Structure 1
Amino acid sequence: MPNTTWKIGYLNCADTAILSASAQVGTKPVTLLVDPHPKRRWSAGLTGNAWVNLVWPEPQTIDCVALMGSSHTWETGRCQITASDMPGNADLYDSGDIPARVDPRFGYMLHVLPQPVTTRSLRLYLSDPAVAETRGGRLYVGPLWTPRYGPPLGEEWGRAPTGTQTVGRAGQTFITPGANPRATTFGLDFISLTDERTHLRELQRICGSENDVLVISDSSDPNPGDVSIWGLLKNLQPPKRTYGNYWSSIFSITERL
């Protein structure tokens, strides 16, 4: 059955946008939203309401807006996304005021547009009366690739702990604490020649092992953060032709903290 909900984003248009915000703390400017480390977070200060604006010199096609390291709560966090081609023009897209659906275990605010929008500007409104400070770590704004077929059976999804255990001479076990990021390994099969050239090669060219990738395993899930990983490709392997003009590739991604 053709895939409609498994998606991957690899071209982050936020990195080429001119960013502005309703407010920012001097040591936590809005430009931290394009810093690859989500723990370095933009802060709008002691407020539960803020907005971030993105402007591009040329039109960009947008499928998804995601904010990692969001300060929203699950119960009361809300957001609104609007896009307009030129200042003062009617909106090309308006999500309306909707729940942000941020699970605090993961801190992902993720919104997939019903249809791609090509725009020169986008604004993200954030509100939550339950938080004293509005913050955000890493912003993804860009297109999504939806392969015709999602990963087959065999997809792995779990944790990649970085802590270590050392056994001393007397037999005691000493723990060196570390981060415990999520990780996934999956394969994509029956990738058409067009998708191999348009998406698979571009994903490896743009991201390699240095730039972040957003994987959404089910865009229809009511808890998007629970089924999504934003992180770095590990053990990158070249695509393989498996049958006729169809290709396959295996990916390993570890969440970036």
Structure 2
Amino acid sequence: MQNRKIPLGRDFLYSVYQRRLRRSLDPAQLPRHVAMIIDGNRRWAKQLGFDSAAHGHRAGAAKMREFLEWCDDLGISVVTLYLLSADNLTQRPSEELADLVQIIAELAEELSHYRNWRVQQVGSKDRLPEPLVTALDAAEARTAGNKGLHINLAVGYGGRTEITDAMRSIVATHHAHGGTLEDLAETLTPELIGQHLYTGGQPDPELVIRTSGEQRLSDFMLWQSAHSEFYFVEALGPDLREVDFLRALRDFAKRQRRFGG
């Protein structure tokens, strides 16, 4: 029988490259906590000719489910997804915001039934619609005892508001115990503030990734990312590939972290 050559298509080559990248990663050099700013969903929908940004947000949510699987399979412990900022609640058109709220509620519900993941909302609930608050609270309660990947859903989140809330919590706790302002000044430390953040008790993100080519934090984890490494991906949110993520991890492993030095 004559041997026939099998054509090497683009997907096959990417698959080979992807497996090689994955094998090259040292588990000891992977970040424990990865934070993701999912950006470009609206541009993705517009480029494909959709008449609503909801198509992009739904595709972005589906991609985040994939992204969480990639992280979990590599043994990463904590992932924070920036899904809805406090600014979005006042700046997005009402119709788009209503669609986005529903998509996030559905995502929280889906994640709370998947693997052994633990879901937690980080952010303020003050201006969130009640159905979304209900969905987030239900997902958090349903997964509270899970020991798998810890997923922070940053919803209604703002970094400056988080720091303000932490300070208010510290002052209120101190006052409730009868402390004086002088005592508070003596005990106030970065470690104490960190304990009162939405992510209190968790490791800070070692790696922050943003899609769509934008290179800014957008009020995301301002305190926690003080010593984070940043990686910016040109792909729009729904187009993110596992290869892109593996390259980010490879780049992270090569960096010499100086922690402000």
Greater fraction of residues in helix: 2
Whether TM exceeds 0.5 here: the answer is no
**In terms of Rg, which structure is larger?**
2
Q: What is the TM-score when the length of structure 2 is the normalising length?
A: 0.23
Q: What is the TM-score when the length of structure 1 is the normalising length?
A: 0.24
